[in-house]
Structures are given as C-alpha cells and as structure tokens.
Chain A
Amino acid sequence: MNEPASDEVLMLRYKDGDLSAFEVIIEKHQQPLFSFVYRFCNDYHQAQDLVQDVFLRLVKMAKNYEPKAKFTTYLYTIAHNVCIDYLRRKKKRQSVSLSDPIDAENGMTLEETMKDGRANPQRDFQQKSFEQALHQAVEDLPPEQREVFLLREQQNLAFDEIARIVGCLPSTAKSRMRYALQSIREKLQNKFSLADIV
C-alpha cells in the first residue's frame, strides 16, 4: 500500500505544477492553522484574513521552495511573520482589545455562540466557565508567550521547532512556555481548584 506523500513532497509536486498536491496541503493545514491564528488574534474575520495571507505567501514562495526544514516549521514561520505584522499594525492603530466581543452587533463572545448539546446544565455551566477561563488566560498571555504556548499545545510542535519558527533559542522557547504555564496556573487558581483543572 502506498504511504501518503509527505508535506514536503506535496510542496515539490505543486512547485512542478500539480495543483491537486496543493489542495491536499490546504485541506490538511487550513483548520489547524486557522485555530492557531484565531487563538492568537481572537478575531474570526481577522484570523481568516491572516490565514489567507499565510497561504498566499506560501503560494508565492513555492517556486523557491526547498525542503530544508520540516514543512510545518516553514508554514508556521510564515504564520509567525504574518501574526507579528498584524500585531504591529494593530499596535499602530490602537484598535480593538483582545477581550472585545467577536460580534460587534450583538455583543456575543465566541464562547457564548458555541453550541450546547449536553444534558447536565449545572455541569455544563461549570465546564463552560472553566473553558472560558482557560481560553481567557491564554489570551491574556503576552504575545511571545501565547505564541509558544499555542505552537506547543495546539500544534504539538517540539521546542526546537518552535524556536526555529519564532526565531529564538530553544532554551528561550522553553522559558517562555514556563512563564506561560505559570501565569495560566495563577489565573485559574484564583477561580478554580486544582481538582477542577484535573
């Protein structure tokens, strides 16, 4: 049986003119990448635009693509650059805060718009409060810590890879992760017991 082609091979195929190879790449990476960017910027439409920018840059760079590093490292390095550019632009404009509701019209947050399909309302409420607090704690992290946290927890990347993506030493990436975990722990412990978390 044939092994599915690696991302690096797919990129090389696309470079040689095979559009279907790029379709596989988009299908495989669009949602994880979107989740990462969405958690980074906390804005649905903005995240969509940023992911679009990432893929457009990928398309443009395809003709110079050489599989020197892992494809995920390559892709998330582009995403890192796009997110940093976004933060700079945002800082310049001093626009919306991270804690603003995602829907300007009805003031609903993302968590409020999530579907509720479970049976125990009290447990659901606790669960939802905890989820909200956890996501909020992640959102409150400084960008450089948040980025490392999301790459490790959401994308399951090793610290060496994360360091290459964000352009720092592996030890720096680990120490950012340490600070992130410490900060999340402090925030959650104010509202929940350790037993709730476990």
Chain B
Amino acid sequence: MNCKKAEEYLVDYLYQELQAKKTLEIEKHLRSCPQCAKTLESWRAIHRAYQRNAFSEEPQIAPYFKQKILAVAEEELSRSPSWTERLIFAVKVATVPLAIFVIVLFLNEPKKMAMQRPQPEPVAPATKSEVAPDVQQKLETPLAGERKQDSTGFEAKRSEADYVDNLKARPYDQRLDKDLAEKNKEAGSDPPAGRIVANEQAAAPPMSAPAEEVQQHGAQTDYEQSKTEAAALKKGRIAETADDSYRRAKEGLDRNDIQEWRENSQRAVLMDNKKTLASDFYAAGNTYQSRGEYGKAIAQYKLLQSNYRDYHQMDDVLLRLGDSLAEVGEFDEAVKTYRQVSPSQRRVATERIQRLQKKQEAQKQLRSLGYVSSDKDKE
C-alpha cells in the first residue's frame, strides 16, 4: 500500500469503519511510513480533543422549548386533514382503479383494431406479453403528487416550508379567532368560523364586497373572518395596515381603552409579516416602564414574548418583563419569566431572581413581626 492509498483509508481507520483485511494492510503501512503515522496521530488528537471539549460547556436549549413543540404536536394529533391532504389522498386512492381501467383498455384495444380491419391479414394480434411492459411502466411511474416522496419517504421541501409557516401562525390565529368570537357574541352576531376549520372547507361561499376589500389590503382571511373584520373596519375599531393598527393600538392604550388596544395590537401582529413592529412594541414597553406604568409595559412585553420569539432583544424584553411583574407584586410570574432568559444573560437573570427572593423573604419577616400589614389588613 502506498501513501496515496493509505490516506484514502485513514479516515475509516480512525473511526474504526475499515474491514479487517484493510486494517492489517494500513497498520503495516503506518509502521513503515512516519509521515502517514504523524497525520493519523494529529487527526486522532483532534478527535480526542473535540470529544473532550465539545460537550463540556455546550449552550443549553431553552427550558420552554419542549413544551412549545409538544403543544404543536398535540394540536397536530387532534387536527383533521386539510382539503389539500384529502385531495392528495383521493388522488392516490383513485390511482388504483384508474390503472386497472387503463390496463383493461390497453388489453382490449388490439382486439378491437383487429376486428375493425376490412381485410384481416395473417398478422398475430398483440399478445398480453407485448402490452404488459408498457402498461407496467405506466403503473410503476409515480404520479406528480407521489413524486413528492423520495426513497426514504421525505416530503418535498416546498410543502414542508409552507406547512411550517402555517404551524407557526396557528396558535396566534386561534387566539384571535377566539377573541373575535367573544366580541361577536357580545355584539349578538354569529361567531366566526375558526381560521383552520374554515381554510379546510373545500368550497367557501362567494365573498361579499367588504370581505374582498379586506383581502385586497393584504390580510390573510377566510370568508367568515373577513366578514367579521370588515364589520369591525366599518365601525372604525380596527385599521387597515400593520402600522395603522399599531398606531391605533398605542393610542388606545394611552387612553386606557384596553379593548381597542387588544384588537388593534393583535391585528398589527397578524399583519406584520416582516416582523418590523417588534422594535416599536419594545420601545413603547420601555417608555411605559420608565414612566412607572407597569401594567402597560407588561402588556407590550408579553405581546413581544408570545409573537416575536426571535426578536434580537428578547433577553432584555424578558428581563424587563420580569422587573415589571415584580413591581406589580407578581413575584412568581416574574421568577418564571427570568428563568426563560437565554444562557448568555442567565447570570443577570439569576441575580435578579435572588434579589427578588430576598425581597420576598424580607417582606415575610416584616409581616410576621407586624411592621407591615398584609393586604387584607389594609382593606
């Protein structure tokens, strides 16, 4: 074995994936070639060093991660198939009788042609063996829909990406639907159908003019929700673009109109496809916090927390949310929030948790000594 050949097998040898015969050959070469032996030694050193260091201080995944995925997994289990999935299934099921029909048609065709000829010549009719390979090939060729799966059963990447987008949007959509349902109930109108359910309906009724208007403005709506939103638009309670909705939400909050803030902020988030409003919510939250309006600050931060997970200032949002919660006496929730901070800021979060716990302890002691009256006593 020469050096070039040895180098080819060196990686297999290092990771013990080489056959016994080749192993002996390479070991023989390594004994006689210091250059290759040195290369192997350095690779082995890297392997050992990486094994030693790689997992020693690896950043940890966020603690809430599992719950987040489980929530989606649970939702997926209870989800009925969408109309596109049903359609694909129907096409797959229909393939079998269609294939049988094609076979029968192909088998009968030569006989018919032979009968229709005016002067039958002594030509042998098409036999089953001549037709079958052609038909067999047609049977074996997958339909366009079926080509989405490769040999290991993975679906086409495009459909995966679309699905992930839908999944990401769903929890928020459902909350919005619930809110809209409550709102309609109060107003005495029919509750809107859920977004997911309505999207799965194969034949939606024709859109009314206001509904079309909403869709033209870029909102992703189904018929029922469009109707509800169009009615809300007419009343002037919600705005047409993400920026308008955000502005109205903020104005609502400044006026202490929680209902208007809630409707418009949720709508702003829904329409904010480019995720540009995160910094606005963040800035508003900081302003409220600096003014001591902790309730409003909490509202902004919570909205960010649940809808802009990948916002680059998320750690600061969580720390500020924790601080604001602590200010209004929600100590347990504040601690929970601090614990969601990523490892890069965990030291800061731990310090705040400890400070909060000391504060709680001090309050308890003062209360037990009678220096501070409990809330009930005050009342």
Could you list which residues of chain A lie within 8 angstroms of chain B, going by C-beta atoms?
14, 17, 19, 22-23, 26-27, 30-31, 34-35, 38, 44-46, 48-49, 51-53, 55-57, 59-62, 64-66, 68-69, 73-74, 77-78, 81, 85, 102-105, 108, 110, 113-115, 130-131, 134-135, 138, 152-154, 158-159, 164, 174, 177-178, 181, 184-185, 188-189, 194, 197-198
Contacts and interface: CB of A to CB of B under 8 A. Distances in A.
Contact of A26 (B42, B70, B310): B70
B175 interface: no
The 10 closest A-B pairs by CB, nearest first: A197-B45, A34-B61, A114-B57, A55-B69, A198-B45, A181-B43, A60-B163, A131-B53, A174-B11, A59-B76
Contacts of A177: 11
Nearest to B16: A158
B257 to A, nearest CB: 34
**Chain B binding surface, main DSSP class:** helix
A110 B58 CA distance: 9
Contact of A52 (B15, B69, B161, B163): B69
Contacts of B10: 178
B164 interface: yes
A115 B149 CA distance: 46
A130 B43 contact: no
Nearest to A112: B344
Contacts of A103: 344-345
B152 A164 contact: yes
A57 B54 contact: no
B46 A44 contact: no
23 contacts: A22-B70, A31-B58, A34-B61, A38-B58, A38-B59, A44-B343, A45-B312, A51-B61, A53-B164, A56-B72, A64-B149, A64-B155, A74-B152, A134-B46, A154-B54, A158-B15, A159-B11, A178-B7, A178-B11, A181-B11, A185-B39, A194-B41, A198-B45
A198 B48 contact: yes
B47 interface: yes
A110 B53 CA distance: 14
Contacts of B12: 159, 174
Contacts of B371: none
A27 B63 CA distance: 11
B51 interface: yes
A108 B65 CA distance: 24
A198 B152 CA distance: 40
Given A35-B58, A45-B312, A78-B154, A23 B70 contact: yes
Contact of B61 (A48, A68, A69, A74): A48
A197 B167 contact: no
Contacts of B54: 35, 153-154
A158 B42 contact: no
A60 B167 contact: yes
Contacts of B66: 23, 26-27, 30
Interface in B23-76: 39, 41-43, 45-51, 53-62, 65-66, 68-70, 72-74, 76
Contacts of A102: 344
A178 B192 CA distance: 60
Contact of A153 (B50, B76, B153, B343): B50
Given A48-B310, A131-B53, 11 more contacts: A17-B77, A26-B66, A26-B69, A27-B66, A45-B314, A49-B309, A52-B65, A59-B73, A153-B47, A188-B46, A197-B46
A35 B46 contact: no
B168 interface: yes
B366 to A, nearest CB: 35
Nearest to B345: A103
Contact of A59 (B17, B48, B53, B69): B69
B109 interface: no
Contacts of A159: 11-12, 15, 17
Contacts of A154: 50, 54
Nearest to B311: A45
A153 to B, nearest CB: 5
A108 B346 CA distance: 13
A197 B42 contact: yes
B77 A134 contact: no
Contact of B152 (A68, A115, A138, A197): A68
B157 interface: yes
A179 B158 CA distance: 32
A105 to B, nearest CB: 7
B241 interface: no
